[in-house]
Chains A and B, each alone.
Chain A
């Protein structure tokens, strides 16, 4: 028998290590050390109910366990085989205690659809993909369904694009299918430029065939015989696995001429990008593939009318494609039963920032931020306070405490002033300065703007300058007005999505954390204590014993004072390096 005690950060914070000790002691006292083992595990994704203990092999799941419960768990469960009723998890709906955690599927907040094979199969072996129903969906489409049937299924499934904008996939395929041309293209957008996002890379590295299969299905539905994957050269492993996958699929005849003995032919090639964020925008991406400058052009015409080489082209994101074979295999009814009214299925998020369980998660649409951050994510690092989470990367905005219980889907995120984006989720705590965060994203957009249109090229640069001005303590209230106006002009007048969304991080932090902006300009104070230029180091006369440690540490000799006399920091010389603060053993250096 094994007693699994959660040793994840959340549970450790509520003393799970004491539970381990008590359990071990009890077991030793009862002379059971040979039969029963106590094991510490990682997070169960159930931290709100922690500390948790799971008994194996009978799968009993105990919640809110205290060290003093160890005795009864051993005496009752281990020795007599009777679960301790009062510690069992109670189903919030049926109000019944759950004995076997196998029946607690619902506590698992994640459903893996796009990631269904990631971490299960060997991505370099097509047989393993086929064993898990791989290429069955393609077989079904070309063997049993018409192109119109496939489009109909996709439309009814409610799948929306995972690349950012959330455009209905079935509708996109329908438009491409209706445009007549001798040659059409299917393009997979694997540019993934959003800083902090890596779900597309993970899908390609873990399950490349799902994307190949979906592209072929899309080719069948839209009438295209050629597929292109636009992937950044910075993803060498994903590229290597894609190449192997394409070779193996060709070897089996699942790509190429007359697939599965039908008249349908489809093949896929790779195209490499140099890693410019703007090349993720579909028109820029197409220009880049054509060998032209990676700059966007006006839409319409949309790629579905005039895309690669002027021919009808259907562009979808990696994760969007990864959902397709499952929808065909399991039916649109199944898929559309997951999620919210207007956003079906799941979304993969890359959880990063000040969160305990950094990683890749796939959650049903409609889950709340609270569930993602405090249960799956294991809460905020070092027990700090949650402040905000940035979704949608440099095009998105931040969500705050008040949004913790909002069900997450495409439309609710937009209503809350952010957006789904590609799925980066950067969690921030009380130590993060929101003005600096906005500045950080602006830095990125300034670097990545292609420079084609003035509002984005010049406007974002000006925004960044103003923000720098503010974080240095030189801003005024008038600057805040100017900042907001400029944001609105850039949004309204930029040519492509990059410029149209780049002011979002500024606007949303202004809307949600106005006080912080005001503190920076009126009080010249950074409430989070992050803006170096606004920090002031001083010495508390009463606490200083005159040990001279700080004076010796100061690199610019800003600190003066006699031995055994209170010291003094010359503000004009101080460069705010913090060396004195770290050196002082008497807590006499004050940061403000």
Chain B
């Protein structure tokens, strides 16, 4: 890791990091990747988020879908763990709750492959600040 030596350097890294993130999900990029985020805080892991994350990593790869699977923190919907956010290129992210292997499979087959929503959506009920 190279040290960041000035505020200007920090801004440069920010722009680069943003571009990298944007590239994945921007709609105007036909090569955009599917992004899957698994909520992996203590509550998520306790309800089985780890095997679900592994399932997505392995199955997306096996089924030849270009995707980035990452972990993230608590989304706040502890009653519906494990929760997974899926963002298709150029689309608003969708959060699915109570994701077991069966639902994870459905999400891949229906939503990720064909853009058909599947049961278990958790509507976002908060305001973002940016």
- Is residue B29 within 8 Å, beta carbon to beta carbon, of the partner chain? no
Cβ proximity bits A332-361 to B, threshold 8 Å, 1 near / 0 not: 000000000000000000000000111111
- A251 and B1 within 8 A (CB): yes
- Is residue A330 within 8 Å, beta carbon to beta carbon, of the partner chain? yes
Assembly CA distance A376 to B71 (angstroms): 25
Chain B residues lying within 8 Å of A115, measured Cβ to Cβ, are: 74, 76
Q: Which of B14, B76, B119 contacts A118 (CB 8 A)?
A: B76
- A130 and B17 within 8 A (CB): yes
Chain A residues lying within 8 Å of B20, measured Cβ to Cβ, are: 127, 131
Chain B residues lying within 8 Å of A116, measured Cβ to Cβ, are: 128-130
- Chain B interface category by residue count: 35 or more
Q: How near does chain B come to A143, taking the closest CB pair, in angstroms?
A: 5
Q: How near does chain A come to B22, taking the closest CB pair, in angstroms?
A: 9
Q: How near does chain A come to B38, taking the closest CB pair, in angstroms?
A: 10
Query: Which residue of the partner chain B has the closest CB to A102?
Result: B92
Assembly CA distance A42 to B9 (angstroms): 43
Q: Which of A39, A127, A136 contacts B121 (CB 8 A)?
A: A39
Q: Which of B10, B41, B130 contacts A202 (CB 8 A)?
A: B41
Query: Which residue of the partner chain B has the closest CB to A207?
Result: B73
- Is residue B28 within 8 Å, beta carbon to beta carbon, of the partner chain? no
- B120 and A41 within 8 A (CB): yes
Query: Which residue of the partner chain B has the closest CB to A378?
Result: B79
Q: How near does chain B come to A85, taking the closest CB pair, in angstroms?
A: 22
Chain A residues lying within 8 Å of B41, measured Cβ to Cβ, are: 118, 201-202, 205-206, 237
B residues 76-130 near A (Cβ < 8 Å) are 76-80, 85, 97, 116-130
Which of A253-261, A427-435, A569-577 makes up part of the contact surface? Answer: A253-261
Chain A residues lying within 8 Å of B127, measured Cβ to Cβ, are: 105, 108, 110-112
- A237 and B42 within 8 A (CB): yes
Known: A39-B118, A113-B129, A252-B4. 8 other contacts (CB 8 A): A109-B126, A111-B129, A139-B10, A201-B41, A252-B1, A253-B4, A260-B5, A362-B76
Q: State the 8 A-B residue pairs at the shortest beta-carbon distance, nearest first.
A: A206-B73, A45-B125, A251-B1, A110-B126, A253-B3, A119-B75, A131-B17, A118-B73
7 A-B pairs (CB sep. < 8 Å): A110-B127, A111-B126, A113-B129, A128-B21, A198-B43, A237-B41, A253-B5
Q: Which residues of A are in contact with B by a Cβ distance under 8 Å?
A: 2, 4, 6-7, 37, 39-46, 54, 56, 105, 108-113, 115-125, 127-128, 130-136, 139-140, 143, 198, 201-203, 205-207, 235, 237-238, 248, 251-254, 260-261, 326, 330, 356-362, 376
Q: Which residues of B are in contact with A by a Cβ distance under 8 Å?
A: 1-7, 9-11, 13-14, 17-18, 20-21, 37, 39, 41-43, 45, 70-80, 85, 97, 116-130
